[in-house]
Amino acid sequence: MKLSPHNIVVDIETLATSPDAVILSIGAAAVDLKDMEVIDNFYLTIRTKEQLAMGRVEDKRTREWWDKQAGNIKEETWAEEWLLKDALVQLRLWMKFTKGVDGAISVWGNGAAFDNTILAHAYNMCDVPMAWHYRYDRCFRTVKAMFPEVVHRPQDPATKHHALHDAVYEAQCLIRVIKYLEDRI
């Protein structure tokens, strides 16, 4: 099996599920497939009012869902520290620093039409070049569905829906699946 040695798992928290959703936070975990470990991570929270003003959207059901979430995760997710464009530049710089010299970086989102798609839309809207080429989009949800017996460890409920914790958890699951496959090839 040939995978890019540079892999990043991203997770975002949003106020909708459409590509133009307001992004509340971005979490990412860099995975070293040689040593099979998470080697670095990234986390930022993003201001919402500025995103709404530029035409990004929220939906009522997602907002109501967030209103019901536990305090710590909700407070951290809604810290609203960065402007969207600045957050995307920071993510791009972190990915560029993380990916090494060959330039190929696989970016894993939890759903073929969610994390990566929403981030790509935001990069385009903010006129910031993306840190990865679209041909390196990867879907962790597909991997998880194909190997449920390997990705069977539940995530700690106290950390669910926190972009960084979700990204690290998903990266650890991805590592388990790749180890599982390598043991059988």
pLDDT digits (tens, 9 = 90+) for 67-85: 888 778 888 888 889 999 9
pTM, two decimals, is 0.93
Q: What's phi and psi for 106, nearest 5 deg? A: -90, 130
The CATH code of the domain that includes 64 is 3.30.420.10
pLDDT digits (tens, 9 = 90+) for 30-64: 998 888 999 999 999 999 999 999 999 999 999 99
Query: Counting beta carbons within 10 angstroms of the beta carbon of residue 14, is it exposed (0 to 12), middle (13 to 18) or buried (19 or more)?
Result: buried
- The answer to whether residue 30 sits within a structural domain is yes
Q: How many folded domains does the chain comprise?
A: 1
Contact in structure between 34 and 4 (CB atoms under 8 Å): no
User: Domain for residue 1, yes or no?
Assistant: no
Note down the domain range covering 100: 6-184
Q: What would the two tokens of residue 182 be? A: 């390598």
Instruction: Please compute, for residue 159, the number of CA atoms within 13 A of its CA located in the half-sphere on the CB side.
Output: 13
